[in-house]
Amino acid sequence: MTDKLKIEKNIPITPQRHKHNTLADLLNKMDVGDSIKADFKTIDQLRVIARKIGVKCTTRKLFDKDNMYRIWRIK
């Protein structure tokens, strides 16, 4: 198995770019009072990231036919 693997030197590490970074960018662009409507999974991810980067937010479930949620930046 190790015959197919090769050690390489001096290869630069590429920067990570994944959903969490783009969500953090989105939260940082929000002004106080701005909100985002999304499904529960996305709102939960935004809430966790907001806590990590120090953005104060609040969330509410929207009682509509889509069963969506909303997150507001409050500070």
| CA-closest candidate to residue 68, choices 46, 45, 36 | 36
- Residue 51 inside a domain? The answer is yes
- Residue 24 inside a domain? The answer is no
- Residue 22 inside a domain? The answer is no
- Residue 23 inside a domain? The answer is no
- Residue 63 inside a domain? The answer is yes
Helices (H), 7-75: 19-29, 40-53
Which of helix, strand or coil describes residue 60? strand
- Residue 73 inside a domain? The answer is yes
Structure confidence by residue, pLDDT tens digits, 28-69 = 999 999 999 999 999 999 999 999 999 999 999 999 888 899
How far is Cα 38 from Cα 36, in angstroms, rounded to an integer?
A: 6
Average confidence (pLDDT) over 9-26: 81
| pTM of the full structure | 0.71
Structurally, the chain folds into a number of domains equal to: 1
- Residue 18 inside a domain? The answer is no
Q: What is the side-by-side order of every strand in the sheet holding 57-61?
A: 35-38, 69-73, 57-61
Range of the domain at 69: 37-75
